[in-house]
Amino acid sequence: MALNIFNTLSRSVQEFVPLDPSGQRVGMYCCGPTVYDFGHIGNFRTFVFADLVRRYLEFRGFTVRHVMNITDVEDKIIRRVRETGQTLRDYTGQYEKEFFKDLGELLCLRPHDTPRATEHIAGIIALIEKLLARGVAYQTGDGSIYFSIEKYRGCGCQYGRLVKLNFEEMRAGERVSSDEYDKESLADFALWKARVPDDGAVFWPSPWGEGRPGWHIECSAMSMAILGESFDLHLGGEDLAFPHHEDEIAQSEGATGKPFAKYWMHAAHLLVEGKKMSKSLGNFFTLRDLLAKGFTGREVRQLLLSSHYRETFNFTMEGLEGARTALARLDECLAKLRELAGSTTGVPEAKLVGDFTAALDHDLNVAAGWGTVFEWVRETNRLMASGQFTAQQAAAALAAWQKIDAVFGLGAKAEAGVPPELLALLDERQAARKAKDFKRSDAIRDELKIKGWVIEDTPKGARLKRV
Ligand code: AMP
Ligand code: ZN
């Protein structure tokens, strides 16, 4: 069976066939973070989804080039820079650093390219010049440049490919200057914004005077600079379909006359306890908020990967506890398999890999993929308990899991997941036992238990395990 994905462009499930004539290389662009604050778990649902898409394409044998931009200049950032008095680079740099740290905690592979918008200003200007030359952009009195939807449609191009739009309500020449707007303000949008006093030191020279790019043109310029004028796959959260992605298509195809991205995939939003996340409701979580509660990035990743990307994800603390339990079950089974396999190696067991592939080939149905995995855990546990499992079979099962985990990306339960101060306590407990100071060693054991960890004495020494 071939890999099929839901393409927002055609609003249907389609076979994934890359543009590369040899069917090998895949160019994939995912709109990256706007680095004006810490990323929240909603943002990370989308980035973990992008990581899943890349990993699954690689699992299916494609050679993927994964690009994720860093939006380091747009309206919200400029507002914050003005408020804090920091330079643009200092302000965005701190959140960019934290973003990559969070991405690492969530065990996401680092995209191959992570271009910053501010490093692509020349390309952005060149793209706007093309749009002016082709007559689909125009300059206003203040030196700003806008994209003309009317002119674009007049050339036979379609605006409104990803979402349905009501052009009846649109008045020719009406303009919207903000980076974010909704369908009601369907209007010509800004490509280049002339410098205003509120921009402070954030401006660049251009053929039209000093100013800065609009948000949408940044992604058109960066994606095409790295992946070419036409590429395979464009991803983002569902909120970006309009206006951001619609504008990206119009700008790119308006400038090149060629099809932009062949497939568009959108991840549905994440809600918390059924509600939109908001600071005022107290249901707003960054990744670090969850880590501070004692959860690991691996557990959050498992949870975010547990349901289909096109379904709205309802994040709850119970769900996160459930992810912890699910991982513990899986880890326990894998540990037993490792013990049984010893140094035996094996070829991946075909059924497990085949069932998993069949599930994910259908528009990345991870829920069905997990169903297969947990069914396998149940059966494997049963066979191991009845003593019917050989070292050879255990090795084949482990090899199959390793293939699957190249997609889920959970890795082995890392000792590194144990906070260093607890590892230090564990060492102290071992030293106390050696010195026959059992009072101290018991006190440490109790202290660890309160913190949610138990000591497991194994032939290889003592380890910490979550309660
Ligand atoms: P931003 O940093 O605001 O540009 O957003 C980065 C990515 O996160 C975009 O792809 C958004 O669509 C996505 N995103 C924002 N909020 C949510 C949410 N609540 N659930 C899922 N994805 C989101
Ligand atoms: Zn974008």
Measured CA to CA in angstroms, residue 408 lies from 186, 276, 354, 402 at distances of 39, 27, 15, 10
What is the pLDDT averaged over residues 239-264? 98
Question: Which atom of ligand 1 has the smallest separation from the CA of 237?
Answer: 12
Alpha helices in 307-385 (DSSP H): 317-341, 350-361, 366-385
Cα–Cα distances in Å, from 169 out to 242, 370, 436?
16, 46, 82
pLDDT at 354 over 70: yes
Let me know if residue 207 belongs to a domain.
Answer: yes
Q: Which residue has the higher pLDDT, 85 or 281?
A: 85
Q: Same structural domain for residues 202 and 153?
A: yes
269 lines ligand 1 (CB under 6 A): yes
Residues 447 and 385 in one domain: no
Q: CB burial class (10 A; 0-12, 13-18, 19+) of residue 15?
A: exposed
The answer to whether residues 430 and 333 belong to one domain is: no
What is the mean predicted confidence (pLDDT) over 356-371? 98
- pLDDT tens across 379-410, in order? 999 999 999 899 999 999 999 999 999 999 99
Domain count, the chain: 3
**Confidence label for 1 from pLDDT (cuts 50, 70 and 90):** confident
Position with higher pLDDT, 449 vs 405? 405
pLDDT tens digits for range 315-352: 999 999 999 999 999 999 999 999 999 999 999 999 99
Classify residue 97: in a domain, yes or no.
yes
Would residue 311 count as lying in a domain? no
Of the three residues 239, 257, 272, the one that is the final residue of a domain is 272
Ligand 2 centre to CA of 332 (Å) is: 41
Residue 120 belongs to what H/E stretch? none
**Exposure string over 429-458, b if 16+ CB within 10 A, otherwise e:** beebbeeeeeeebeebbeebeeeebebeee
- Each residue of 165-206: pLDDT tens digit? 999 888 878 999 999 998 888 999 999 999 999 999 999 999
Same domain, yes or no, for 427 and 403?
no
Separation of CA 180 and ligand 2 centre (Å): 12
**What confidence score (pLDDT) does residue 183 get?**
86
Residue 318 in any domain: the answer is no
Helix (H, G, I), strand (E, B) or coil at 188: strand
199 in the same domain as 117: yes
For residue 171, the model assigns a pLDDT of 82
The domain of 87 spans 4-272
Q: What percent of the chain has pLDDT over 90?
A: 84
Please tell me which residue, 452 or 156, carries the higher pLDDT value. Answer: 156
What mean pLDDT value characterizes the chain?
Answer: 94
Based on the fold, state whether residues 396 and 440 are members of the same structural domain.
Answer: no
209 with 243, same domain?
yes
Of all protein residues, the one whose alpha carbon is nearest to atom 15 of ligand 1 is 43
Residue 202 covered by a domain: yes
CATH of the domain at 37: 3.40.50.620
User: Is the CB of residue 211 below 6 angstroms from any atom belonging to ligand 1?
Assistant: no
Specify the ligand 1 atom closest to the Cα of 34: 2
Beta carbons of 271 and 242 less than 8 angstroms apart? no
Q: Is 244 a pocket residue for ligand 1 (Cβ < 6 Å)?
A: no
pLDDT in the model for residue 185: 84
Q: Which residue has the tokens 């949610």?
A: 452
Domain contains 438: yes
| pLDDT given at position 309 | 98
CATH number at residue 371: 1.20.120.640
434 and 407 share a domain? no
**Last residue of one domain, picked from the residues 206, 237, 272:** 272
Q: Indicate if 177 and 268 belong to the same structural domain.
A: yes
Ligand 1 center from residue 135 Cα (angstroms): 33
Together in a domain, 95 and 232: yes
What are φ and ψ of residue 191, in 5° steps? -100, -40
Cβ(179) – ligand 1 distance below 6 Å: no
Residue range 262-315, pLDDT digits in tens: 999 999 999 999 999 988 888 999 999 999 999 999 999 999 999 999 999 999
pLDDT at 21 over 70: yes
Same domain for 391 and 426, yes or no, is: no
Question: Considering the domain boundaries, does residue 18 fall inside one?
Answer: yes
State pLDDT tens for residues 95-124: 999 999 999 999 999 999 999 999 999 999
Percent share of the chain, pLDDT over 70: 97
Residue 186 lies in a domain: yes
pLDDT of residue 432: 77
Ligand 1 centroid distance, CA of 455 (Å): 40
Rounded distance from Cα 364 to ligand 2 centre (Å): 22
Integer Cα distance of 149 and 251 in angstroms:
10
Pocket test for ligand 1, best of 35, 41, 46 (most atoms within 8 A of CB): 46
Range with lowest mean pLDDT among 27-36, 112-121, 415-424:
415-424
pLDDT above 70 (res 420): no
Decide: residue 75, CB within 10 A, 0-12 exposed, 13-18 middle, 19+ buried.
middle
Instruction: State the ligand closest to the CA atom of 46.
Output: 1
Q: Which ligand is closest to the CA of 241, given by its number?
A: 1
Q: How far apart are the first and last CA of the chain?
A: 42
The answer to whether residues 405 and 376 touch, using CB atoms and an 8 Å cutoff, is no
Q: Which of 208, 240, 272 represents a domain boundary (last residue)?
A: 272
- Within 10 A of 408 (CB to CB), how many other CB atoms are there? 21
> Do 333 and 266 reside in the same domain of the chain?
no
Cα(237) to ligand 1 centroid in Å equals 5
